[in-house]
């Protein structure tokens, strides 16, 4: 009973002191080190960046358009699609390129492009844009017939704008009262996967499993390798890499959990098309990470309280016992929580986000003594006897 009373006192003080600190740090984002470094970090990042051995998905190929002027880009894409659909017959060609209006491009080139794109195995990507509070489809500015060609938005979800890591995507959005699908889902339909009955219907956002690697990138005008694309999923986009296998250009690059430098500042590690490919592989293999935010929240709350009570218990015993137990809790327990998160991803494709729990455990050990002294100080102030006059 005494222990619970003490816990209650600590909890009240943590709320009183912690809430304004949290709120002000949240407001002054640039001063908030947690916001800067840890707010967008998950233990799954450790798994994807270091531990995970990536599996080759042989059904997906990247075709690199490189960085060329708009005219050359359009001409090469037109020729590529026309040739492929005539002689090679890939399963689907996903175009991860947005063609904007350009009055310097001859009409004939745009017509040739539209004609090449007018095929039922083409899926176009578009940008999901919010203008004046409305979600709109920012599509290519050429007259494509969307009765023939499929389309899907290719944006994913991030926790924050700057350096936001793409771990989740949303399968559907409602635009103009119509259910619009993610680009990868539209491509996934060509795999004859019953996408509608999978996890998309029960989760409003889905965690991406970055567990795949892909074949060598094929250059768009490298016709010698076109025969590899027969009956495959072809993603056309920017994929040029440097000698170290990192994106060479700064366009369409994204931060993902596969980034080897998951903490601090690092360059984006994947092109957009690669993120899309991972989602398609997840659909193909039904290997999305099952994410349990509500359960993770309750585990965090319950275990945080439990850890704190255990710490209070040992603090009441003796200084030496408290020192040993706090060391054990701070290092062994925190390491265990990290291990547990990674273990569930590796073995069961399930993610319990215990990041906050590990942080709370670590900080509890650091601050429990200080909080206890503050409580003692307050008690002394309240209960000290007035001096006799």
Partner 1 sequence: MRILLILLLSLNYLFAQEVVVKQVWGDVDLIFNNHVLKLKNYDVFNAEGDVILKDKKSKIWLRKEASEQLIVWSENKNKYSITELFNLTDDNHKKKQNNDKNLASKVLASFESVDYDGEKLSGMIVSTYSGVSRGDVLTSKVIDKLFILDEYPLKFTWGHLAKFDDGAQYRILVVDKNSKKVLFDTTTFMPNAIIERPPSNAFFNEWTFNLYVVGTEIEYSGIIESYVIKHQQSEMLDSLKVLAIKESLTDECFYQLIFIDKLFSNNLILNGTYFLDLFIETNNNIRLVELKNQK
Q: Which residues bind partner 1 (CB under 8 A)?
A: 26-31, 65, 67, 69-70, 73, 96-101, 103, 125, 127-128, 130-134, 136-139, 141-143, 154-161, 164, 166, 168, 170, 173, 176, 183, 204-205, 237-238, 242, 244, 246-254, 265, 267, 272-273, 275-276
The token pair at 44 is: 């799954």
Angle at 16 (CA atoms; ends 10, 21), nearest 5 degrees:
115
Asked whether the CA dihedral 293, 294, 297, 298 is positive or negative, the reply is negative
40 three-state secondary structure = coil
Q: Which is nearer to partner 1, 176 or 388 (CB)?
A: 176
Give the relative orientation of helices 293-317 and 2-27 as an angle to the nearest 10 degrees.
130
Q: Which of 331, 47, 82 is nearest to 226 (CA)?
A: 82
The token pair at 145 is: 């017939």
Shortest reach from residue 389's CB to partner 1, in Å: 51
Residue 179 near residue 172 (C-beta atoms within 8 A): yes
Q: Which is nearer to partner 1, 29 or 319 (CB)?
A: 29
Shortest reach from residue 194's CB to partner 1, in Å: 23
Residue 112 near residue 78 (C-beta atoms within 8 A): yes
Shortest reach from residue 70's CB to partner 1, in Å: 4
Query: Could you tell me the CA-to-CA distances from 298 to 192, 220, 310 in Å, in that order?
Result: 38, 50, 18
CA dist 222 and 351 (Å) reads: 41
Shortest reach from residue 371's CB to partner 1, in Å: 27
Q: Which is nearer to partner 1, 47 or 183 (CB)?
A: 183
Shortest reach from residue 25's CB to partner 1, in Å: 10
Shortest reach from residue 252's CB to partner 1, in Å: 5
Q: Which of 75, 112, 78 is nearest to 93 (CA)?
A: 78
Q: Which is nearer to partner 1, 35 or 346 (CB)?
A: 35
């Amino acid at each position: 009973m005494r222990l619970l009373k003490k816990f209650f006192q600590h909890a009240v003080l943590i709320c009183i002191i912690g809430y304004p600190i949290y709120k002000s740090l949240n407001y002054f984002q640039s001063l908030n080190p947690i916001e800067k470094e840890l707010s967008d970090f998950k233990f799954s990042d450790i798994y994807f960046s270091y531990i995970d051995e990536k599996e080759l998905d042989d059904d997906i190929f990247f075709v690199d358009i490189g960085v060329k002027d708009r005219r050359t880009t359009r001409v090469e894409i037109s020729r590529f699609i026309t040739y492929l659909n005539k002689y090679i017959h890939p399963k689907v060609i996903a175009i991860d390129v947005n063609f904007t209006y350009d009055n310097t491009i001859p009409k004939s080139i745009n017509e040739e492009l539209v004609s090449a794109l007018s095929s039922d195995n083409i899926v176009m990507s578009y940008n999901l844009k919010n203008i004046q509070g409305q979600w709109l489809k920012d599509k290519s500015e050429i007259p494509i017939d969307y009765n023939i060609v499929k389309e899907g938005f290719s944006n994913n979800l991030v926790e924050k704008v700057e350096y936001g890591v793409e771990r989740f995507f949303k399968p559907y959005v409602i635009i103009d009262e119509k259910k619009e699908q993610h680009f990868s889902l539209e491509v996934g339909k060509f795999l004859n996967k019953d996408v509608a009955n999978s996890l998309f219907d029960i989760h409003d956002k889905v965690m991406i499993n970055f567990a795949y690697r892909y074949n060598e990138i094929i250059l768009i005008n490298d016709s010698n390798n076109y025969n590899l694309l027969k009956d495959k999923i072809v993603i056309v986009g920017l994929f040029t890499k440097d000698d170290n296998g990192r994106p060479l250009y700064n366009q369409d690059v994204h931060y993902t959990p596969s980034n080897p430098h998951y903490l601090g500042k690092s360059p984006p590690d994947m092109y957009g098309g690669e993120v899309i490919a991972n989602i398609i592989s997840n659909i193909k293999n039904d290997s999305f990470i099952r994410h349990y935010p509500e359960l993770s929240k309750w585990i965090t709350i319950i275990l945080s309280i439990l850890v704190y009570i255990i710490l209070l218990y040992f603090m009441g015993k003796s200084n030496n016992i408290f020192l040993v137990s706090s060391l054990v809790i701070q290092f062994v327990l925190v390491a265990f929580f990290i291990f547990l998160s990674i273990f569930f991803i590796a073995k069961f494709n399930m993610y319990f986000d215990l990041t906050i729990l590990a942080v709370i455990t670590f900080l509890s050990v650091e601050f429990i003594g200080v909080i206890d002294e503050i409580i003692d100080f307050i008690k002394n102030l309240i209960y000290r006897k007035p001096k006799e006059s």
